[in-house]
């Protein structure tokens, strides 16, 4: 909870009356923690500046070939152009909205399917044993390779991208939900049954909340996978979207464009992460804080 007292503080607490030293020690502790916080933030900023500055400087001095590797000022320029004048495929926000829509739709469908099947198989040992090997086999396939298949089957519209995102998200959520349901404390189940819970109450009040810890942990990674699904789908063939933007930038040797699109994707992923973390805080507020606040 608190950092260990220094020898000095300990000596003070012996020398002075109780209340006085307590508040003094506490103030010192708060001060030290604030100073540490400030130092870390300052160093972080410094690191960023050094990294970007070094890149820019390297590019200007000719150490880094900015034709192949781009440069920060060029990336910034590209972003400004896209925002102010739109991209070759139309306004920037349309591209973002397109990719986001595909990712979000794929994410939602994948999550619902993953939870449903995970809970079903987690509760039904017979089904789990029956389908186990097939699910493991399906999981071992590198699933992005399905992208061309979906493009053939579902066309160049958003459906093929949604499908790819669904497949990517499904397996992550499925395995977590499955494991979560299997790990439900048997004592809790027995207790709920003795207290009078019927099957539905058992599911809603015990199994689901218990599995939710696992499921929510999987949501963090699965939204990034949904984005990957949408973008890779757009690589393979599309009319709009950030994936196409990257594809075009790459095809025209526009390294700055690739980086700029990448930044946009990163921002989208970061935003979604904030939303999911907020959701996690809300749904899992019963957990000890030490556990739920281990974030980087």
- Positions touching another protein (CB under 8 A) are 185, 187-188, 190-198, 201, 205-206, 209-210, 284-288
Q: Evaluate whether 277 touches 217 at the Cβ level (below 8 Å).
A: no
Query: Where do the H-state alpha helices sit in 16-124?
Result: 18-61, 66-69, 72-85, 92-123
Minimum gap (Å) between residue 196 Cβ and another protein: 4
CB of 87 to another protein, least distance (A): 47
Per the listing, tokens 């012996």 go with 14
Distance of closest approach, residue 214 Cβ to another protein, in angstroms: 13
Phi, psi for 87 (deg, rounded to 5): -95, 175
206 vs 268, beta carbon nearer another protein: 206
Name beta bridge partners: 87: 90
262 and 205 Cβ atoms separated by less than 8 Å: no
Least distance (Å) between residue 17 CB and another protein:
30
Nearer to another protein, 142 or 196 (CB): 196
Q: Which is nearer to another protein, 22 or 185 (CB)?
A: 185
Q: How far is the CB of 128 from another protein (least distance, A)?
A: 17
Do 208 and 181 contact (CB within 8 A), yes or no? no
For residues 23 and 201, which CB has a smaller minimum distance to another protein in the complex? Answer: 201
Give the separation between CA 8 and CA 15, rounded to whole angstroms.
11
Of the two residues 193 and 281, which places its CB atom closer to another protein in the complex?
Answer: 193
Distance CA 167, CA 172 (A): 9
Minimum Å distance from CB 188 to another protein? 6
> Which positions ≥6 away from 171 have C-beta within 8 Å?
114, 138, 139, 143
Indicate the angle between helix axes 92-123 and 158-182, nearest 10 degrees: 30
Q: Which is nearer to another protein, 85 or 282 (CB)?
A: 282
């Amino acid at each position: 909870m608190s950092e260990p007292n220094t020898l000095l503080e300990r000596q003070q607490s012996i020398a002075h009356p109780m209340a006085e030293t307590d508040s003094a020690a506490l103030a010192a502790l708060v001060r030290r923690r604030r100073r540490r916080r400030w130092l870390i933030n300052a160093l972080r900023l410094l690191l960023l500046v050094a990294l970007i500055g070094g890149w820019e400087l390297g590019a200007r001095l000719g150490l880094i070939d900015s034709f192949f590797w781009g440069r920060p000022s060029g990336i910034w320029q590209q972003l400004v152009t896209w925002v102010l004048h739109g991209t070759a495929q139309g306004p920037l926000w349309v591209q973002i909205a397109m990719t986001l829509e595909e990712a979000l739709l794929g994410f939602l469908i994948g999550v619902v399917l993953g939870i449903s099947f995970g809970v079903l198989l987690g509760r039904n040992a017979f089904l789990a044993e029956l389908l186990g090997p097939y699910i493991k086999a399906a999981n071992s396939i590198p699933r992005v390779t399905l992208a061309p298949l979906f493009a053939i089957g579902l066309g160049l519209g958003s459906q093929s991208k949604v499908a790819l995102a669904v497949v990517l998200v499904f397996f992550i959520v499925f395995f977590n939900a499955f494991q979560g349901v299997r790990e439900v404390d048997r004592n809790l189940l027995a207790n709920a049954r003795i207290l009078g819970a019927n099957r539905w109450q058992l599911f809603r009040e015990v199994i689901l909340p218990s599995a939710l810890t696992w499921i929510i942990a999987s949501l963090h990674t699965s939204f990034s996978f949904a984005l990957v699904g949408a973008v890779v789908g757009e690589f393979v063939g599309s009319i709009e979207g950030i994936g196409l933007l990257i594809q075009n930038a790459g095809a025209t040797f526009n390294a700055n464009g690739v980086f700029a699109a990448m930044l946009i994707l990163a921002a989208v992923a970061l935003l979604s992460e904030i939303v999911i973390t907020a959701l996690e805080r809300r749904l899992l507020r019963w957990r000890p804080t030490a556990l739920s606040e281990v974030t980087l």
